[in-house]
Structure 1
Amino acid sequence: MTATLNDWRVTTRPYYAPQADEITLFEAAYAARLPVMLKGPTGCGKSRFVEYMAYKLDRPLVTVACNEDMTAADLVGRFLLEPGGTRWQDGPLTLAARHGAICYLDEVVEARQDTTVVMHPLTDHRRTLPLDKKGELLRAHPDFQLVISYNPGYQSLMKDLKTSTRQRFAALDFDYPVAELEADIVARETGIATALAAGLVQVAAAARRLKGHGLDEGISTRLLVYAGQLIRQGVSVRHACRMAMVRPITDDADIRETLEHAIDAVLA
């Protein structure tokens, strides 16, 4: 492995609590070098899972936060002008494919479809990446794997994965953990009492029931951890919940009031 990828190595074991057999299934997919798609709501643990698997498999992890302004060159690479001439610089996808890292495209549906198609040759039997501007056909390192994630809750006619892209990936479904496990995760991540963490989870459950009834998305496990961290800093439970669990997900006054009533009822 080159010194370049040392910066992408996960050196500390991330905490991840499995919900089912996703670890075994991912290991099997990696052994076969299958590309994997992770589907699930915001903040449910998809990125933490990839980080954990990269650590467990002892592979560097190159992560790309996708956005609508990202171009194919941002993924693949480009020539840079320098005083002595031009120099080619690999993009993150090329870097991972060349040196055998796991490349993780986070929220891939945010990228334009004409950008994401550049990964297609890496996701079938060819495992190649044409670098047209450089005149190179890159053959992926034997240890390379491509992983993408997206939130199906934000699908629309304008923002969704093409069928030709979907069918190049094996897929794992993620969701928020069951209440007891989620409380354990929040307590473990923040150091607050398990009983208090369970109360935060109850409030989150109430918010998640409002999805599609005024809320686009419920309170994520990530936001519960934020609330717990604020509480550990001495912020009152009510203020921590408002700051981390209510204000981020809605500006609707009625829904905010409903959620604050739930906080008072559960955590008072």
Structure 2
Amino acid sequence: MRAAPFTPMNATPLAVPDNSPEGVYTRGAKAAREWWRVSLSERANMFRIEHGHGEDGAGQVDIDTVVDLDNLEAKLLKWRREGFVSAADHEDEARAAQVGSAFAADLQRAAQAAREAREAARSLSSAQRTVRIGNVDMPVSTDSSDANAALVPRINDAYLFTPRADDIALDIVENRRVMLIGHTGSGKTSFVEQVAARTGHGVLRVNMNGQTTVGDFVGFWTVKGGETLWVDGVLPVAMRAGYWLIIDELDFAEPSILAVLTAVLEPGGKLLLKERGNEIVTPHPSFRLFGTANAAGAMSAYRHLYQGANLLNEAFLDRWRVYLFDYLSNDEEAKVLLRTLPALTPALAHTLAAIAADCRAAFAREDLASAFSTRRLLDWAELMLRTGDAELAAAPAIYSKVSAEDAALIRSIIRHHAIFDAAPDGQPAA
């Protein structure tokens, strides 16, 4: 559809670059098809643009004008924002789709081969008992010691393993270092604990509250009964015994602690205790390391909501598998409520989940200073069943834990849902 260029006798020919904007730019299809046609003008260094509707740039022209290159470039940007695509763009998309299809087919073959290799490896150790977490069979701990048993978390039968569990469970089986990031109360720590509860692994937790020193973490010398003794910190204790170690609020850790962790994060990484004459601690095969953070990586945009959080650099993050852990969806949270408190009706459970979701949205907008955890929601629901009064139950479960301003906003959210859900067809009650 390109018009033949015409150059007047006394005009300087327009030099058209290889990426010439000439052509037809279209959007829509059939009767809704709209187009802009660009061609060289009879005037030097100018372009003719036409607009119309119909197939292939044909049909009645309702705009026909001439513009210079600067104006044309501005129009091209506008057209692209509005969804107009050139023939060259269509060709590029077709080529990309063809390449992408081949890539996807290769990836599926490679993924299938990897799955078969994992299954073969698991069959070699089939003597070890496994438990199903999501869609993954995870080995059960063989440590029957009293020390390990005392550290195994209690199973929460109402806990819901969502599809996000599968990849993390596989990483645990493969001994990857896993970091879970997300807002407070989104279930990062409880996920690891519930996996450990079902697989029988002892768990140690340490919270990086800004006061935790490298001595607390690694170990220190002390004097007891006139004798100088070395006391292992939580990291070497977990590494030696094969416990699972959860480092909560990792983005609040001191740089000296992060430096110690860096070596342990490497594949087969060991811990060097310089304070003990460069003793090397080799990790037990069952040892697993987890981190949680509120404002790292993809959550760094929310750092201002978590005062004191440090920036974790890419070199450190690259040593982890980092998963964004969001709150449960309304349906998932309603399911947890019903599992935990069977006396609730489905309608009540969904209303409570919607209230929690609105409070979390307010927290993300910074309208609320505190998040709304599933734990808080369950506590409130349990008190409601005892008192039969949502407002009365909210006082110890919610309002007393937040500022007066936050309590007022949460109260308005609760009342909004109570009014709208009590009326038929979603209309406000009279």
Inter-partner Cα distance in structure 2 for 1:20 and 1:264: 33
Which secondary structure does the structure 2 equivalent of 1:183 belong to?
helix
Instruction: Measure how far apart 1:176 and its partner are.
Output: 1.1
| Correspondent of 1:90 among 222, 232, 236 | 232
Within a 5 Å distance, the mapping from 1:69-84 to structure 2 comes to 69-84=211-226
Which secondary structure does the structure 2 equivalent of 1:203 belong to?
helix
Residues 40 and 150, structure 1, Cα contact 8 Å, conserved in 2? yes
Inter-partner Cα distance in structure 2 for 1:258 and 1:175: 22
| Correspondent of 2:303 among 136, 150, 155 | 155
Which secondary structure does the structure 2 equivalent of 1:155 belong to?
helix
Residues 242 and 260, structure 1, Cα contact 8 Å, conserved in 2? no
| Correspondent of 1:200 among 343, 352, 355 | 352
| Correspondent of 2:383 among 218, 230, 233 | 230
Tell me the alpha carbon deviations over residues 104-160 of structure 1, each in whole angstroms, 9 at most, x when there is no partner.
Answer: 011111222222321111110241011111121111111111100011355259623
Higher mean displacement: 115-124 or 181-190? 181-190
Tell me the alpha carbon deviations over residues 60-112 of structure 1, each in whole angstroms, 9 at most, x when there is no partner.
Answer: 11111221000111111112211140222211111111111111011111222
Residues 8 and 60, structure 1, Cα contact 8 Å, conserved in 2? yes
TM-score, normalised via structure 2 length: 0.57
Q: Structure 1 residues 190, 161: closer, same or farther in 2, change over 3 A?
A: farther
Which secondary structure does the structure 2 equivalent of 1:5 belong to?
helix
Higher mean displacement: 167-176 or 199-208? 199-208
Within a 5 Å distance, the mapping from 1:30-41 to structure 2 comes to 30-41=172-183
Which structure has more RCO (C-alpha within 8 Å, separation ≥ 6)?
A: 1
Tell me the alpha carbon deviations over residues 8-40 of structure 1, each in whole angstroms, 9 at most, x when there is no partner.
Answer: 123545542122232x21232122211000111
| Correspondent of 2:394 among 241, 250, 258 | 241
Instruction: Measure how far apart 1:216 and its partner are.
Output: 4.2
Amino acid corresponding to residue 161 of structure 2 in structure 1: P
Residues 207 and 218, structure 1, Cα contact 8 Å, conserved in 2? yes
Amino acid corresponding to residue 256 of structure 2 in structure 1: D
Residues 40 and 174, structure 1, Cα contact 8 Å, conserved in 2? yes
Residues 209 and 253, structure 2, Cα contact 8 Å, conserved in 1? yes
Which consecutive residues of structure 1, in runs of 5 or more, have no partner in the other structure? Answer: none
Tell me the alpha carbon deviations over residues 187-238 of structure 1, each in whole angstroms, 9 at most, x when there is no partner.
Answer: 3234440432222212122222322242245422221112112224426211
Inter-partner Cα distance in structure 2 for 1:10 and 1:205: 28
Residues 204 and 244, structure 2, Cα contact 8 Å, conserved in 1? yes
The answer on 1:266 being equivalent to 2:408 is no
Inter-partner Cα distance in structure 1 for 2:418 and 2:174: 48
| Correspondent of 2:316 among 138, 148, 165 | 165
> Percent identity at matched positions?
25
Q: Which residue of 2 aligns with 1:21?
A: 164
Which secondary structure does the structure 1 equivalent of 2:348 belong to?
helix
Which consecutive residues of structure 2, in runs of 5 or more, have no partner in the other structure? Answer: 1-142, 420-430
Inter-partner Cα distance in structure 2 for 1:166 and 1:249: 33
Residues 380 and 397, structure 2, Cα contact 8 Å, conserved in 1? yes
Within a 5 Å distance, the mapping from 1:10-159 to structure 2 comes to 10=153, 12=155, 15-22=158-165, 24-135=166-277, 136-152=279-295, 154-155=302-303, 159=310
Inter-partner Cα distance in structure 1 for 2:381 and 2:375: 10
Aligned length: 265
Q: Structure 1 residues 98, 182: closer, same or farther in 2, change over 3 A?
A: same
Q: Structure 1 residues 213, 59: closer, same or farther in 2, change over 3 A?
A: closer
| Correspondent of 2:373 among 206, 212, 220 | 220
Q: Structure 1 residues 110, 232: closer, same or farther in 2, change over 3 A?
A: farther
Which secondary structure does the structure 2 equivalent of 1:193 belong to?
coil
Inter-partner Cα distance in structure 2 for 1:246 and 1:177: 22
Inter-partner Cα distance in structure 1 for 2:381 and 2:353: 11
Higher mean displacement: 152-161 or 81-90? 152-161
TM-score, normalised via structure 1 length: 0.88
Higher mean displacement: 63-72 or 213-222? 213-222
Task: Quote the RMSD (CA, aligned, Å).
Answer: 2.4
Q: Which residue of 2 aligns with 1:257?
A: 408
